[in-house]
Amino acid sequence: MSKIDFTHRVAVVTGAGGGLGRDYALQLAARGAAVVVNDLGATTTGSGQDKAPAEAVVRSIVDSGGWATASYDSVATRAGAEAIVAAAMDHFGRIDVVVNNAGNQRNGRIEQLSDEDFDEVLAVHLNGAFYVSQAAYKQMIKQRYGRLIFTSSASGVFGNYIRANYAAAKAGLIGLMHSFALEGAYAGVLANALLPTAASRLGQAPAHAILPEWEAFQPEKVPGIERIGAKIRAEYVTPLVLYLASERCTSSHGMWSATGGRYARAFVGVTRGWLGPSGRPPTPEEIAANLAQIEDRGGFTEPHTVAAELADVARISIERGA
């Protein structure tokens, strides 16, 4: 099996000053990529700024014989995002990979979240990923090549406690990824979403936000966690990121889970459902009466566009003569 190699490729990793992003940047560089190490150096809630984290990662890469430059811009503004992509173009002449990893948190119970708590989290996770990816995408379609990775979360797909703002942002990234995947396909620009689980600063909740339910679902309370606890680390997520960022990857439009050493594809499916009466809308009572068929997962489709779901319904209508 040939080695996945990033020689002559240029990668941008946002939030690369520590945790998952740091490991992505180091491993991309170790395999030949020139890396823009972006990190604002803010706290987990998004306040402050510190150049040291990004500079330390760049120093590690350069001292190992690799190529890297630091970016201290915020992804949460269009100007900051464009500056990040400009750093790649100015220093290395192209941009092949974007790993949207930058994040923050403003945890709290739903009734406690302020407008600022909600908006600030969406600004970094969702708006930031759009700004950076859009700027990079414009270059990628000219090159006819690109790999975009959006760091979503199981919180956005399955839900989580005390993180309604975070879950909303991460769910939004799924829709964003789908659109980039569809529009970029003609130019060889692939887009995928990552659902990583790893110990990080964003995994901690403030004491005032703790719920009894949250306590019950902390990793140490999960039966059998001792079997995988050592694998809830960045180095177990990075291999999937490297694959999705590589030329070897031909998959797009997907959600990929890296959790405790298990790698899996998550997907959205639609049951075959119940086809309502011809010539009129169904009544709510008919919906209730046919709920078992509506929910039956014995057969399902995995539509990749709105049109594909409509086509499925049309096909079922033909099959049933409705």
For residue 86, the tally of other CB atoms under 10 A from its CB is 15
Rounded CA-CA distance 239/151 in Å is 14
Rounded CA-CA distance 34/109 in Å is 41
Q: Which of 54, 43, 46, 52 is nearest to 16 (CA)?
A: 54
Q: Which of 171, 165, 86 is nearest to 131 (CA)?
A: 86
Residues labelled catalytic: 166
SS (HEC) of 17-77: CCHHHHHHHHHHHHCCCEEEEECCCCCCCCCCCCCHHHHHHHHHHHHCCCEEEEECCCCCC
Instruction: Using alpha carbons, list the distances in angstroms from residue 220 to 159, 217, 225, 260.
Output: 19, 8, 7, 13
